[in-house]
Every structure is written in structure tokens, then in C-alpha cells.
Amino acid sequence: MKQRGHGGITGLLRMMRGRYRLLAMAVISGVLAQGGTLACMAISGWIVGIAVSGETALLPRACCWLVVLVLFTAAVRWWQAWVSHDLAFALIEKLQMAIFDGLERSAPDSASGQRLGDLATVATADAELMERFYAHTLADYVGAIVVPLAALIALWQLDPLLACVLLPFLLLVATVPAWLARRAALQGQQMMHEQGHLNADTAEFIHGQRELAALGQSAAFMQRLLKRSRRVGSMQQRYGSRSGLEFAVVDALSAGALLALIAAASTLLHAGSLSPLWLPLVLVLGVGALLPIVDVTQTASQLGELRAGAARIMRIVDYPARVKDSGSAPSPERHDLAFSAVWFGYAAQRPVLQGLSATIQPGEIVALAGRSGAGKSTLVHLLLRFYDVDDGGAITLGGTDIRSMSLTALRQLISWVPQEVYLFNGTVADNIRLGRPDASTQQIEEAAKMAQAHGFISALADGYDSDCGDRGSRFSGGQRQRIAIARALLTGAPVLILDEASASLDNENEQAFHRALSQLREKRTVLLIAHRPATLRQADRILLLENGVIAENGTHDALLASGGKYAALIKKVAAD
């Protein structure tokens, strides 16, 4: 699916909408703080001048000014720190919410082709990197214009020559990051791209450790990680040396600026047009004009990284919504399902579903059968509205087109146990109550009993309070499936979808699963995707999906007896 352009920095600015007051305060406080520092430095220079020239009558007034300005600057710095970080954290929170929204919209595609570890980096590290932008960059840029301008005006007042000597240096220093801007952007982009891959590989190494060890590939994978890590290291080195070059040029130009200013001031001093009283002030104003610009060039030297991070974030934030969530039809009372002339294909591929029609009555258990890749899971994804059917077709629930309901309302009516069950790292009870956080212990146990999971859960030392481990690693595939079924049943949704829920079960577990299924008979509308004949036999009716349509429809026994495509499929499964 096509995405809008990823203007990284403009995207970051877009996030500021609605926070302009806080932004204005951050900029004003930043400029006042820099201005205060410059004024303190200027007064100090003046005091030194007074001391050197012996005009001590001015000293008390100058000291009073210094005290007032020091207090003012301290107060403004405190205000700036408070406001700018308040702004930054508010915006980062907004940004992170937008990232999570984007990730949710991109499911089940695994966001725009990016890998899991990479996405985690975007949602955490990249988002945090933006703190620098929101808290400092903007105010610093405004300060880098206002403060040097004030210093130049003060120098002009002392003697126009001083301002004229300093100005070209200020302009040169300010442009240094632009000299290598393109290279900085490219380096930043490459570095973050490679870092993202390294994070994703590391996450994969951790998750796939057992498979790698069993296949004797741990060392090879580690070598791959090491290679990537070295590549990131050398990119960071190149990035660092470019930044270092910029710093060196900025330092050299700054030193040149001060030397030129000293030379000009000395000339004016000898010509008698500048009093020695002002000499320290001239130097201080020169330094004060340079400092904010030097600060900005240092931030700007990291702009490549910032821009690349912002672009990665905006790619997710701007991920287009796959389906429109604008329906508001009331939830239907009946829970029969009807698929009418459903066409659907992924992107440019040949349509997976080609005018499929079928109905499922309330309380019926219907099994969807078909060879691998026939489109069974796709049909379920359409029912859950991860995608919408192509124009012309429709899916209705209780007579209501599912597109006319809100996604939340629709998904409250459907519980789904996917092929790959995900258990969170928490207790068994917490995992079961995921879709209904207020469920009581008794309700959790009832659901587990119905899902035939109560037996093995209560045999655990801590029962329902036992930890599931990372991704439910302490349980077998079949046990994970039954915990997931309990989770789905607890929501009380009237429609239940079980996608290959019995695929990884052994004989004993499969029988438990069938008992669970028979408990649901007439209580829920159940759509079951299955391959195993024993499971298919549990269904009231079988729909055989082939070439994008329902090719056969009937009970297991009737379809077997007819000796058609279903019978052939079962024969093939038995032979395998």
C-alpha cells in the first residue's frame, strides 16, 4: 500500500499542533536565558574594564546590575528547563502514541516491511532521540539568531568596525553544518538503518537461540551479528569523524573571529576611538555572539541522525489505515454470518477469494477446510476486518454489514484464537483475563474448565498464579492453545474463530480440545479452521474452500460419502 511522504522534520513539527503556547514559552525562555547569559558576560566585561581603567565610581552600579542579571538568568534557566522538558515529554508521549497507533494499523502486515527489533527501536530509542529536537533545537535556533544580533548591535554602538569584522565570521560558522549536510543526512540514515538491522538480528538471535543451537548454527549466527556490529561501528566512526571535522572548522573559525576582533579593537584603541574601559566588553560580546551559533552547529552536526530517526518514525506514524473505521451501526442481536460474493486479493496478487458465498447459522459449528494456501485464514482476517472485502461483496453479522459497525463493536462480538498463540509474560490468570480485565477468579476458572485447561493449570505449583514465561515458553503448544481458548471464551463474544487450534495437539490434548468444542455447541457460533479429520468430524458442517469459492458444503460424513474434492483432501491428509 502506498504511503504518504515521510518528511521527518516536518512530521515532528506537525506533532506540535495544539502545543503552540508551550512551544512559544520554550522558545521565549530559551532566548531569554541565552540573552541573560550574554548580558551577564557583558556586565562582567564592563566591570573588568572599570577595574582596569580605575573608574571605580561606576563599580557599585555595575555590581548591582550583575547581581540582578545573574538572578534573572538563573530564574529564566530554571523556567526554560522546566518548560522545554515539559514540552518535549508531552510531544514524545504524543509521538509514541502515534507510533503505537501506526503499529496497530499496520497489523497484521508487520509494519511496512520493517522487522520487529527495528520497530521496537523506533518506538523507544528513536522516539527518545526526538527529545533533543523538541527540548533544545528550536529554542537554540531562535537564540542563535537573536543573541548574536543583540551582540552585534552592542558592538556597532561601540564602533561599527567591530560589528563589521565579526559578522562574516558569524555567518561562516553558521554555515559549517550546511557544507556537509548531505553527507551527514546520508550517514545518519545509513547508520540508523544498520543499527535497526543489528537490533532486529539480536532480537532474532535471542528468540531463535534453541533452533540455532539444535541446527549447530549459533556460532555462524554470532559471526553474522559480529559483522553487523562491526559495520555499525565503522559507520559510527565515519559519522564521528565528519562531526569532528565540523567541530574543528567551527573552532578554527571561532578563534579567527576573536583574533580579528582583538586586532580591530587594538587598532581602534591606538587610534583613540575606543576607550580601554570597553576592551574586555568587546571580547565578551564577541564570545557571547559566537557561543549560541557554535551550540547550534553542534546540534546541527547531529541533524543527520535526528532527521533519519524522524523519517523512520513518520513512516510508521503515517502508515495508512487499512480499513475505514467510521461505522456506527448498533451491534446485532442475532449472530449468524453471511459471506456474499466475497472477492479479495493481496496487493497485485491474483485474488485469493473469488466471489465466495456462504452462511453460518447462530450456534452452529462450521469447519473451513481446504489445502494450504487456499485462503482460509484470509477469510477470517476479512471477518475481523484486518482487510476489507473488495467492492461488490459483503460480510454480514446478524444481517448487519460488518463495515457499518465500528471496529471495536465488531471485535467485541468475535473472539479469535489465531494459529500462533501469543501468551504475555505474566500469570496464567492475567493471560486468560486479557480480553476482560475485570473477570473474577471464578469466571477465569470456568472459562479454563470449558477450554479443558483447568486440569493442567491447577496441577502447577502456583496454579493460576504461575508465570507463563516469555511468550508462554513454559507451556506446550497444546497447553498454550487451550489457555488461548479460555481467554477467547472468557470475553463472552458470541462468535468464536479457531484457526488451526488443534493443529499442534497430541492425541490426548486433541480429545480434550474436542470436549471443549462440544461444550460450546449451540452456545456460540463457531468457525473452525482445521486439517485433521478427527477435528473436522466435530463440526456440524464443512465448507470446502477451493479456487477462491466454497466448492463443497455438507457434513463430514455426507461429503466423504459423495467421494468429491473433500473426500480426496481427507484421503491425502490421511496418506501424509
Ligand X SMILES: Nc1ncnc2c1ncn2[C@@H]1O[C@H](COP(=O)(O)OP(=O)(O)OP(=O)(O)O)[C@@H](O)[C@H]1O
* Site for ligand X, rule CB under 6 A: 109, 346, 349, 352, 370, 372-378
Closest CA to 232 of 202, 262, 200, 196: 196
**Helices 441-450 & 507-520 angle (0-180, nearest 10):** 110
Q: Return all residues near 552 (Cβ < 8 A) that are at least 6 apart.
A: 542, 543, 544, 559, 562, 564, 565, 566
What is the maximal distance between C-alpha atoms in the chain? 117
Question: Facing residues of 358 across strands?
Answer: 339
* Rg of the chain taking only CA atoms, in angstroms: 34
Least spacing, CB of residue 560 vs ligand X, in Å: 20
Please give the grid coordinates belonging to residue 315.
Answer: 513512516
Residue (279 or 559) nearer to ligand X, CB: 559
Residue (162 or 352) nearer to ligand X, CB: 352
Residue 358 half-sphere exposure toward CB, CA atoms < 13 A: 24
Least spacing, CB of residue 108 vs ligand X, in Å: 7
Least spacing, CB of residue 115 vs ligand X, in Å: 15
End-to-end CA separation in angstroms for the chain: 38
Task: Please provide residue 467's backbone torsions phi and psi, each rounded to the nearest 5 degrees.
Answer: -75, 140
Residue (198 or 544) nearer to ligand X, CB: 544
Least spacing, CB of residue 373 vs ligand X, in Å: 4
Residue (217 or 547) nearer to ligand X, CB: 547
Residue (377 or 479) nearer to ligand X, CB: 377
Residue (79 or 387) nearer to ligand X, CB: 387
Least spacing, CB of residue 372 vs ligand X, in Å: 3
Least spacing, CB of residue 475 vs ligand X, in Å: 22
Least spacing, CB of residue 505 vs ligand X, in Å: 16
Q: Quick one: 8 exposed, middle or buried, by C-beta within 10 A (0-12, 13-18, 19+)?
A: buried
Strands 549-554 and 541-546: antiparallel
| DSSP-derived secondary structure letter, 125 | I
363: left (phi over 0), alpha (psi -120 to 50) or beta: left
H helix and E strand count, the chain:
22, 10
Least spacing, CB of residue 151 vs ligand X, in Å: 60
Least spacing, CB of residue 571 vs ligand X, in Å: 17
Least spacing, CB of residue 438 vs ligand X, in Å: 34
Which position has the grid cell 461444550? 519
Residue (88 or 368) nearer to ligand X, CB: 368
Residue (207 or 322) nearer to ligand X, CB: 322
Q: Quick one: 322 exposed, middle or buried, by C-beta within 10 A (0-12, 13-18, 19+)?
A: middle
Least spacing, CB of residue 346 vs ligand X, in Å: 3
Task: Please provide residue 375's backbone torsions phi and psi, each rounded to the nearest 5 degrees.
Answer: 120, 20
**Distances, alpha carbon 528 to alpha carbons 251, 424, 490, in Å:** 70, 24, 18
Residue (289 or 374) nearer to ligand X, CB: 374
Least spacing, CB of residue 394 vs ligand X, in Å: 19
Q: Return all residues near 291 (Cβ < 8 A) that are at least 6 apart.
A: 37, 147
Residue (523 or 572) nearer to ligand X, CB: 572
Residue (100 or 346) nearer to ligand X, CB: 346
Least spacing, CB of residue 543 vs ligand X, in Å: 12
Residue (158 or 374) nearer to ligand X, CB: 374
Closest CA to 281 of 53, 113, 455: 53
Residue (89 or 346) nearer to ligand X, CB: 346
**Distances, alpha carbon 137 to alpha carbons 5, 144, 184, 185, 469, in Å:** 23, 10, 17, 17, 43
Q: Three-class SS string for 367-415?
A: EEECCCCCCHHHHHHHHCCCCCCCCCCEEEECCEEHHHCCHHHHHHHEE
Residue (10 or 547) nearer to ligand X, CB: 547
In the three-class reduction of DSSP (H, G, I as helix; E, B as strand; rest coil), residue 138 is classed as helix
Which position has the grid cell 496464567? 428
Distance CA 305, CA 298 (A): 12
Chain center to CA of 364: 40
Least spacing, CB of residue 342 vs ligand X, in Å: 13
